[in-house]
Chains A and B, each alone.
Chain A
Amino acid sequence: MATLNLKQVEKTYANGYKAIHGINLEISDGEFAVLVGPSGCGKSTLLRMIAGLETISDGEISIGDRVVNTVAPADRDIAMVFQNYALYPHMSNYANMAYGLKNRGYNKDEIDRRVREAGTILQLTELLDRKPRQLSGGQRQRVAMGRAIVREPKAFLFDEPLSNLDAKLRVDMRLEIKNLQQRLGTTSVYVTHDQVEAMTLADRLIVMNGGVAEQIGSPIDIYNTPATRFVAGFIGSPSMNFLDGRVSNDRSHVVLTDGTRLALDHNVAENRDVVVGVRPEHLSITTPTESSIAAKVRITESLGAETLVYLTFGSKNEAITLRMQGTHTYAAGDELTLYSNPSQIHLFDQASGRRI
């Protein structure tokens, strides 16, 4: 177990494409860090750089107190779990787990003890003699985790380990991974594009976009105070609503494109062009007031416990999503009046996307 330190880490490919633009990150001992972002944001590249599967173009990565930039992957004392399991198909599950230990010169008894122990933890005891192809997807991923656990490494690296599983299994495995990590207390870095996975697993969330860490923080902090418009839109499902607007002269309101005025309690310069962000779950239906939005229903999705209403607003047909508890039915074209508490309104700079 160890801390993981990234200092100004950069990755430039041979063709000149810059995948990672100087990332600084300190993951403390036993912490569960999750890298989340859309495809192509560089999250997997960063993980692979920590693993040693990609070279580091600039900056420094250290595991524990050791800089590992030029250390071979096998010597970095990390273990990785891959999206497609990456088990050795010609070996039994037992041999799959034992392989890394065998190559590191552990004696047979020690290997056997560790593999059996991991087998018990992951409920694989009955399956150890079988080959990977005889297992289901979930079981294979457990073997892959077993292969990581037996090594007792300084850090676990997870590269979208649940993406190949079906929805139900994904939820179960997510809990299992969380349990396991808390029980073993091993520093972990987890890459995913699924923001639910990210929110539920992370002690610390790193939201990446275009090779840059847009925001680093606890999942709840990021949800409550997203640093940029991108983060605000990426974290939370359904996504936050964004409406263009301009701060009024007296700074008490923001004026939307159709002239609707929303009350503010933000400290913001007058006449500034802003993007107003409101989460679907922070909108509610009210009677028309000074500070309400009138929008037309487009589609309603009933999920039982909650209802998602998709609406359009104003002359530019800006999209708004509303999330309500319980079941409600609206017809397309119905007009609803929406309200949000000023404290739950986020403002972003129109040009830079930064939070105001």
Chain B
Amino acid sequence: MKRVQFGHSPVPYLFVAPQIIIIAIFFLWPAAQAVHQSFLLEDAFGMSSQFVWFRNFEDVLSSPSWLKSAGFTVVFSTLVAVLSIAISLFLAVRADEVIRGAKVYKTLLMWGYAVAPPVAGLLGIMLFNPLMGDLYILFNKMGLDFNHIQNGNDATFVVVLIAVWKQVSVNFIFFLSGLQGIPKSVTEAATLDCKSPERRFWTITFPLLAPTTFFLMVINLTYAFFETFGIIDVSTKGAPGGATATLVYKVYVDGFLGADMGGSSAQSVLLMIMVSVLTVFQFRFIERKVHY
């Protein structure tokens, strides 16, 4: 193989330096710290610590509350990713068909993107406030006996709803631009070849959007894993009884509120491994099938 040789000028390094420094300071350094700390047992005041090998990991993996949180995270992430992708795809396809006032529809549908996750969480708890929340009152008037303060499933419903609502606008933008990237003549050729619009969607439009869908799946899972922290912290705080605590939220609760730095670090190392494996899996096995 022929290698291109550039002169040994330091200038290129200067160009990449800011990015390298950011990654080093905000990712590599804390990650290394977390790995290191996950092998330590520290007293509650941080005065002394002891090297305990894998005991923190053993504790975490055998802890029912961690397993519960892991289970919730899987359910939550799947629901958030699948629902927000499905809903936004539907909205994007419909908005793409609109001719009159298309810009208004599209702008309105994108607005949610500007809302920060904690604000979305705040809007959520207001809607579900037992005294004055419109949705809370509506659901109970419908006889659903809705109570997210005490019922884990109802609380899950609330956080999923908020997280999905927040993410739909992001996905919508990507799907819309994906749809607009499909040449008009291809859609027209399909109109001549296939009469049924549903069939056209599943055989032409959807496969052409597959790379976008794959990208959004990766993004949405990451979102559900990590970025929903703000939503959960503002709305349910993991209640009732940890029923809506994602793994990330539990890392925070155990480490910063529970002062169990070792256990919390072990959790975040496990989380890192899980997400890495998931991402590798996505790219190795799914990405190949979606590109044309």
Contact = CB atoms under 8 A, between A and B. Distances in A.
Contact of B183 (A51, A73, A84): A84
Contacts of B208: 88-90
Contacts of A300: none
Contacts of A131: 292
Contacts, number: 63
Interface residues of B, number: 19
A75 B195 contact: yes
Contacts of B192: 51-53, 73-74, 78-80, 100
B204 to A, nearest CB: 6
B292 A90 contact: yes
B97 interface: no
Question: Chain A: interface residue count, which band?
Answer: 20 to 34
A82 B195 contact: no
Contacts of B183: 84, 86
Nearest to B187: A86
A80 B292 contact: no
A82 B194 contact: no
Nearest to B291: A90
B193 A86 contact: no
A83 B185 contact: yes
A103 interface: yes
B177 interface: no
Contact of B194 (A74, A85, A87, A147): A74
A72 B292 CA distance: 29
Interface in B123-147: none
Interface of B: 183, 185-186, 188-196, 199, 203-204, 207-208, 210, 292
18 contacts: A51-B192, A53-B192, A72-B195, A74-B191, A74-B193, A74-B194, A78-B192, A80-B188, A80-B189, A84-B183, A85-B185, A86-B188, A86-B189, A88-B190, A88-B208, A89-B186, A103-B193, A103-B195
Given A51-B188, A73-B192, A80-B192, 20 more contacts: A52-B192, A53-B192, A74-B194, A75-B195, A78-B192, A79-B192, A82-B185, A84-B185, A85-B185, A86-B183, A86-B186, A86-B188, A87-B186, A89-B186, A89-B208, A90-B292, A99-B190, A99-B194, A100-B194, A131-B292
